[in-house]
Structure 1
């Protein structure tokens, strides 16, 4: 929808610039007006109110720019409002409430312009702003409705597809706040673990197998647990998707043995990372995908599933943007922190390459050195006598050298 206005004079530009210079104050006024007028907004979490403020700041700036330039909201703006409408459907906020919030915001901005610059506005300026706000509210209402309706239908008609969309947004970091993700998860009837297992897998047949086979494989792994293993908390959901030939998943913590067996039976290789919070999922997926792409065959021959230490080592070795030397050292050698003798034995073994030579350097019997190497393997989960584990151990050791 186009609204044509005459070119703005310096007066409109000056008023626009003054308001944008105090955009934080303007945004605060808008949010206060919305929460005062609409009870549903008074119960929003702080993070949700921050999101309301961010949208208000963007919308205000766009409308004021259009007022100065004599234009209207463009297709990119309307697409963004469709996305906002879809997000509100996913977090369960009713559309009439959302539309009323935008009307209140529009009135609030108009009042702020009048309060600050009424004596500098011509009748044409004031009418242009009023018409622009009315046209903008009409256009964004249609866009919000379209996005909200499409998301609602998608949730109702294809919950599995909607869950896959949620995972894709988590992977890409497209979620605005933790509370928005919680609302969206609740709408879809899934509860995400606080610290999920992040899984990325590849294999020649994975893309052909498709979403259903990938989800079935993980369901089998999550339900196959040793009788001695504690049951995972009830109600924790799984998010799965096949994207760009890779299997992606966010899972509750499950025994890695069962997971590895289910993947191995299908000929799939995978990286499984744990201990990452919801906010850190984009980084975790980047590290996992990088490890899956760059790990040599011997890494998968040595380990059924590559883990956080493998991914951290590969990131550091290749200069990946998420490389973290301190984290690699902590993941791999943290258990040896109180064992200086074992650390020294590891150093001499890495330097010499054999237990006998290492024993000579350390001044101990070769059998003693072999016992120490076994103990290092028990504590770290890395056997220094295996090529890939030795690489990770040495990289972790070197990463903390002065």
Structure 2
């Protein structure tokens, strides 16, 4: 629809004093949206408002919306300045309302001009819609670019902290700032299964026990992905940063006086994370690479599929065996070779009883409580085990050999 000449003439009269209109609208924006007082200078606001007002008036005068370069530029600029999108869109509406008020004032003395203006109203509000859409699209483009840039910087910071090697020209302290972590504090590193592996392990088995009796606690069903774990810890007041690698998820968590290691470990064990390894507590981020190695070793010492949590201090013996696989396998064959004729389930039952006996400090009654069976059943299984392997539980060296062989057997089965 062609705009009536009388409306075009009114728009031209407003354009003759575009600077005055720009100042009036800018004052209205600052009064309605205080963030423009603290974030955008007066000169920047004037520079942005003027071309947008000109474009809106030209859109009313022409048969189609004028160039959308102004709203696109405004959207990108305000996003870069950190002004939220709603106040920016409100500023546009204020501009259109002011234009409309001026047009009504100019056309009202003439009934024919007023009718023509009403007939053209849709064009002005359509132009506002187009400008708002273009502004919002440009604004979100900048948000996406910022998110990608922040994600790349965060990934680089995590890689630097976990490896101990900062990018050229940067320091580890600067990398810690990116992650919003202090350089010193109470930290632990957590290593767990990749999301797919953790979910698969959870679907295959129920509640089980890991090394040294660490039991999986029931808890909320939380995905094993790094972002979801970071969010659930943040909800508890625990700051953490996670990185997904090909074989594991690695997290750096900062302990607090109210959320110490034991409480954190209990919560982690309640999540769907598969095998979990936790490092020792350390106090400086420069120690993180060593803590990553500790947590990886602790995870490797866990039982696959059990969803158990293993501390590094409980993983040192398995770590020694994993570090010398040939010697570990030779010890296993030498001590447990006589069990080869038994069914797999029977071998595991005898070794499980032996481990329970160790955890119960050599008490058949205590082992029976752990295994939910009668102490005499424990004694019978231990007698059968020691008679087959030719060892005596009263001789400390035999107990040591049998313990190491049992651990080597567990790790060998894990590898299989």
Pick the TM interval, shorter chain. 0.3 to 0.5
Instruction: Return the index of the structure with the highest Cα Rg.
Output: 2
TM-score under structure 1 length normalisation: 0.36
Q: TM-score of the superposition, structure 2-length normalised?
A: 0.35
